Amino acid sequence: MDQTWTVRDLPVLRAIVELYEETGQIVSPNQIEAKTGLAAEVVQSALRALDSEQPPYVTKMQRYASGHVVMIGAPTGHARRAVGAWPTAETIADRLVSALDEAADREPDPERKGWLSKTAAYLGSAGRDLAVEIGATAINRQMGM
């Protein structure tokens, strides 16, 4: 079976998020086709696949009795995180490791440079779970949790 996420489903999901951000209104398959350049039947296949995801990617998908999707509601936080519009604990962990690497590159003091490099290396490998936990804590605090 061919992999559909990167060539079909993700571009459609990204278009849904972008179109909703631009207009604040429901999205139509025609708008997605125009934004992605994908054929109507490809967009419909992607919408069917995305509609079965739990938690859902959109608040609502309206269909004709034939199953043809005609309206797509607002994207959820799950959709926004999937396309990179909102952070995940993993992306925050990656940013933390990158920031430590960059700080080490700029650091003139050899001892501090070494500590920064070692910390980045640890959080990027064996300590990855800790870095992800730090990312999750940061997201939860931003959300007031």
Asked whether the whole model's pTM tops 0.75, one would answer: no
- Match domain 5-82 to its CATH number in 3.40.50.12280, 3.90.260.10, 1.10.10.10, 3.40.30.10: 1.10.10.10
Distance spanning both ends of the chain, measured CA to CA: 41
Instruction: Name the amino acid, one letter, at 35.
Output: K
Q: Of 60, 58, 53, which is closest to residue 16 (Cα–Cα)? A: 58
The answer to whether the CB of 86 falls within 8 A of the CB of 14 is: no
Query: Which residues of the chain have a pLDDT value below 50?
Result: none
* Residue 46 tokens, joined: 């992607």
In angstroms, the CA 128 to CA 131 distance is 5
